[in-house]
A and B are shown apart, each in its own frame.
Chain A
């Protein structure tokens, strides 16, 4: 099979059409990806401000800078904004939208109009969610547990409506990705010759399409209860509040994998490219994504070991939970095996990928404590859980997002991100993250409950370390954005393939032309890096002469 030639387009997608309307009406997946990146980054900063407010308040054991009711609203807003507006859409909708069609060598996703619709639905849902949460002063935490939330039924219905609208955006993107991957793969790309990012996005899309409708059912039941007085969740009406937790986690646990699977896909790309070696155990990594997607539907009850659900249910959910450990461990082992014997280039995206492995390992290993029944009974709803899911979800998604952002930025904007700032940001986020969240494992083991406005004086020292860490992490995040944004002004022009990667997006110019490729290229092995050699003049990789 001969390698496709690098195709150079004339007008890149950024210059293809001018004016704000050309962006607002665009059907170009690349522009939609960029717009998603803009709004999810704004959400990250907003959620980050709430996080810093929470951490600042916790600097002392008693009142520090706000009242308890304000604090309760802050952690609610932090959780909801980060989960629903940042983590879930960030990698699939921003990076995925940009990269997926080009990796397939096609001009766009299968349904470009649906893609734009999903963006606007997202914007609508996001504005509605933030406005309603702010307006109703909702303080239930992002989990909206009944019957506490029943006292504030209007606020919960409104917030659930916001999440529901966002869910439609998720479903649309999922359908689009599934259809595109199924029907539009280029010649030579069977499922098992796809880049692993596509496997991860495929698995994620399946979860989005299958799990999100459960949210709609929950919302419908909440509304029926409120409008018609049917007792479903509220014990005052004869309902069962624990039922709400089942519904909530039946969606939200699979959603955890919506958050982390795309990150794993990005990491597989980064490790292979920067080790310049075919990814080890390709089919195991691909299958592990599908296994995680499937098993993710079977373990929701492990959030409820202390809820009063039956003993049998808890025992079954605990057993199922340990099965998730296997595909997760397979990925880590295979990434390490990919690095072995490679030619490792320690540049910003790779540093973020290594941070990911460090943080995800801690997140995964501490998951064993929480899957174990009697240990979970002690640790449930303490800071141990807070630390664990931040290691998985933030350590997972944020590190992969930044790694991916630095990796694909040259492709997206035709400029090389600032390497110095990039490395500095990786250092700050890594140190800041660990300083923030590692002490929380100790706090939780010692019995510090979560969602506490004030706490016992003996916990203060660890809380202060954690707060300092949060501000370092905040600085790291700002630096990460600075490192890419500054390149738009005076960054070096990016070559078509700055990293020597071999998936199809590196076969079009940076930034890609409006239509990506004039003719759909024939795919080659995405992890065969041997056809590229370094070109000093452009400081990028070019096809070897014999094959070009």
Chain B
């Protein structure tokens, strides 16, 4: 399998979605979405509820038909095939295990309907159950096992078919926080182990950051940005992306002759003249002793309104003299209430496209 570390190096993507449009009645759910998934890649489709992420997944699986556009997989037109002819398997949000079949028969289902020889079925099912550590529950009915265990069975049931592509529709959303974190890591390592491409749908940005090779951020049926977690965090393309992925401060500025002005703050920028929005992450603002601006460092004085404890760091709400409110992340116990001086380097203020203005 191709290493998922360099997905862009793959000459031809495994799955390519070309200008897919889908409406339900008058409601446009997806607007000309184009996206590709590489061999062995873990791609997350991230978005709020109603963003169209589940619809996109259902289009790949074949449960919905697109109004226009095409989906190709491994050189074959995928969107014309019925779901049962696609080399794609799905892990459903509510697992959708067959209640009348045992765990073993659930996992064997895909192989049996394809008329795989009985001894082969037994072998593959045994391996799949061992892989998700569910061998001891083989004879149980789904109603008798916990949510986390059902999740594992659903995964085994899909993976035993050796799909080219595995689709996962918020598979962890029903689990409690601890189990969820554990499953995130397990799922990620499992994906590397089997080398199958995963398309993972979630509304949880942290989950997306932890697991993905690339994140496709969807908003109102449009792709906001597609990039690696690091890139999308450090170089958000739009103000929506900057706010959705992690915390940020949005600075609405006016740029004149290479200098951005936002209330009392002033810093040099390469952005063109006119109105501009900058994203400034809370951790890029530091407390400082000196107040004289020096080179590319912007300094300002602000009053600490509230502070909240977040383990290794504190999150401060601060207000400048001109009323500008900012969020600042500092090491724990490093700031006391009252007037403080802060600084950030101008390079950390990232110019982003204003999502509000876009129609």
Co-complex (A, B): no
Report A's interface with B, CB cutoff 8 A.
Answer: none
